Amino acid sequence: MPHNNEDIIAIERIKQKDKKALQLLYDKYAPALYGVILRMCGNKEMAEDLLQETFVKIWQKIEAYDPNKGKFYTWAYRIAKNLTLNTIRKKEILIQNEDLSVYREKENAEPQLDVAALNGAVGKLEPHHQEAISLVYFKGYTHREANEQMGVPLGTFKSYVRQALQLLRESYDKEFILIGILINLF
Amino acid sequence: MDRKKLLEEGFLEKYLLDELTDKERQSVAEALASDPGLRRSYDALEADFERMAFENAITPPAQIKERLFDTLENTAKQGPSRGWLWAAASLAALFLLSSFWMYRQWKASESNFEALQEQTTVLQDRLNALEENYLLTNQRLKTINGPQTIPLILHGNNLVPNARAVAYVNHDNKMVVVNAQGLPELPEDKTYQMWSDVEGEMINMGLLKTDEELITLHYIDQAESLNITIEPAGGNDHPTVEKLIAYVTL
């Protein structure tokens, strides 16, 4: 999805405190961000609050976004990721202070949401490539945390990520060429 | 950091995922700004990640959007900084009040402290006076009560029939102390004076004030008797023998 003019114009309008422009960006990006947040925290209610918080922050901090340094989505993703990780950490601290049995009951009462499965090109990758991408992108792990989670050396983990990204790239390029051919055909 | 290292070490991914330290982030940003090829790689990476996120998008419940814009609407109505202004104003008021209260407390403490300091000074003075008094009394007591002290009573003669003075003489430490309170008061231009008789010569020992309990006088060696005369105020070089009112032999 290339850097497009619609986004740039909307962002300029948001800087002028135009809420309609924020609605445009919400409609476009909220589902992608919600997919990340929900996978990261695994709790629907929390994810809804965090999505709202993310857009409040986008509204308040839009002056800090510089289109020359990267895509709007990347910037928004970082906001969502940081908010989510901070909230999870706070919750973990609270749970640590609570009775462990209460925690276990809660865990049983809230079954894990079935959102872990990945769709699209990434969903078609080998399981270890999928997991590597899932950990760093959808779970918010650092490379170091993620390689421990997978139980492979850091170097191996890095090459998994690189291979996975390479495969994604090839897959998207193929689609792009296919679309090109189709457009040329019709 | 060169391009090869940035690519092989996965710095672009970490930059995108916001995993780098401030210093690393800065150096990747600089590399991206100066190396168009690297920038293209990063743009592609961003695009891939974004596309992957879109492929894994989940539509959030519609009420989230409503809730979001209600929230923004409410904060906008209040004005972006009104809440903060109120909070700041409240804090300022609180600060002012507490400062005033603390100033009052401070002033009160200060005046309390001054009063205490004054009291302390008064007490210190009194203590000094008492100590001085005590030392004097103690010294006098030792003087008049010591085993070597001889108390001598001087009775008034017919000039002052009921007069009485007591002299305490200590030959060891050569001291004479007199209580002259038993002598009648004199007019202002007169004074009592005490003399020692040494081989017929009267030697001045000093003036006797009737308002003092104990008067220390000059001790004169070889004195045979102590004598009291009435003299003009300020004392005399030679005794006025006609005005001798009392004497005692040593």
Q: Which range is least confidently modeled, A58-62, A103-107, B90-94, B214-218?
A: A103-107
Tokens 């640590």, residue located: A96
Cβ–Cβ under 8 Å, residues A128 and A135: no
Cα–Cα nearest to A3, from A75, A107, A102 = A75
Q: Check if B17 contacts A (Cβ < 8 Å).
A: yes
Spell out the CATH class of A1-110.
mainly alpha
The predicted structure's pLDDT at residue A103: 46
ipTM: 0.86
Structure letter (DSSP) for residue B146: S
Least confident among A51-60, A131-140, B36-45, B78-87: B78-87
Helix, coil or strand: residue A119: coil
Determine contact: B62 vs chain A, CB below 8 A.
no
Pick from B50, B56, B69: CB nearest A119: B56
Give the distance from residue B56's alpha carbon to the nearest chain A alpha carbon, in angstroms.
5
- Parallel, antiparallel, or unpaired for β B201-208 and B190-198? antiparallel
Q: How many CB pairs under 8 A join A and B?
A: 124
Residues 122-141 of A with CB under 8 A from B: 122-123, 133, 136-138
User: How far is the C-alpha of A174 from the C-alpha of A41, rounded, in Å?
Assistant: 33
Q: What ranges do the domains of chain A cover?
A: 1-110, 117-186
Give me the pLDDT at residue B80, please: 52
Residue pLDDT, tens place only, A13-48:
999 999 999 999 999 999 999 999 999 998 999 999
Q: Tokens 């996965």 sit at which residue?
A: B10
Neighbours of A43 (CB within 10 A): 18
Q: What is the mean pLDDT of residues A153-158?
A: 90
Q: What's residue B81's pLDDT?
A: 57
Q: Is there a contact between A137 and B54 if contact means CB atoms under 8 Å apart?
A: no
- Here the tokens at position B138 are 């103690």
Assess A85–B contact: CB distance below 8 Å, yes or no.
no
User: Is B14's Cβ below 8 Å from some Cβ in A?
Assistant: yes
Q: Do A31 and B50 touch (CB under 8 A)?
A: no
Give pLDDT tens digits for A89-121.
888 877 766 655 444 444 444 445 566 688 888
Q: Cα(A35)–Cα(A21) distance, rounded to whole angstroms?
A: 22
Chain centroid to CA B73: how far? 61
The alpha carbons of chain A give a radius of gyration, in whole angstroms, of 19
Domain B149-249 listed as CATH 1.20.120: no
Average pLDDT on B35-61 reads 92
Torsion angles phi and psi, residue A42, rounded to 5: 70, 15
Least confident of A175-179, B53-57, B169-173, B237-241: A175-179
CATH number for region A117-186: 1.10.10.10
State yes or no: pLDDT of B200 exceeds 70: yes
> What is the structure's pLDDT at A33?
97
pLDDT in tens, B180-196: 989 999 999 999 999 99
- Which chain B residue has its CA at the smallest distance from A1's CA? B47
* Least confident stretch, A102-106, B7-11, B44-48, B94-98: A102-106
**φ, ψ of residue B169 in degrees (nearest 5):** -120, 130
Residue A178 has pLDDT above 80, yes or no: no
Averaged confidence pLDDT in chain B: 88
Same fold across A1-110 and A117-186: no
Please provide residue B53's backbone torsions phi and psi, each rounded to the nearest 5 degrees. Answer: -65, -40
pLDDT at B88: 85
Residue B173 is predicted with a pLDDT of 84
Q: Which of A71, A143, A158 sits opposite B50 (nearest CB)?
A: A71
Average pLDDT over residues B54-61: 93
Element containing residue B230 per DSSP (H, E): strand B225-232
Of B122 and B214, the one with more pLDDT? B122
Contact B60 A55 (CB under 8 A): no
Q: Where are the domains of chain B?
A: 3-70, 85-145, 149-249
Asked whether the beta carbons of residue A81 and residue B18 sit closer than 8 angstroms, the reply is: yes
Task: Provide φ and ψ at A172, rounded to 5°.
Answer: -70, -35
Residue B43 has pLDDT above 80, yes or no: yes
Amino acid residing at A60: Q
| pLDDT reported for residue A115 | 65
Percentage of residues in chain A having pLDDT higher than 70:
87
- Give the closest of A52, A59, A172 to B51, CB-based: A172
**Res A186: pLDDT:** 63
Listed residue (B136, B144, B147, B199) closest to B175, CA to CA: B144
Mean pLDDT of chain A: 85
Contacts for B11 with CB less than 8 Å, ≥ 6 apart: B1, B5, B20, B24, B28
User: Can you give the pLDDT at residue A37?
Assistant: 95
What residues of B are in contact with residue A133 (Cβ under 8 Å)?
52
Taking the alpha carbons of A156, B40, B11, A122 in that order, is the dihedral positive or negative?
negative
Contact B28, B20 (CB under 8 A): yes
Q: How far is A34 from chain B (nearest CA, A)?
A: 6
Consecutive H or E run containing B192: strand B190-198
Confidence of residue B73 (pLDDT cuts 50, 70, 90): confident
pLDDT for B10: 86
When pLDDT is averaged across residues B131-137 and rounded to a whole number, the result is: 86
What lies within 8 Å, CB to CB, of B71 at 6+ separation is: A52, A56
Chain A closest CA to B109's CA: distance in Å?
A: 45
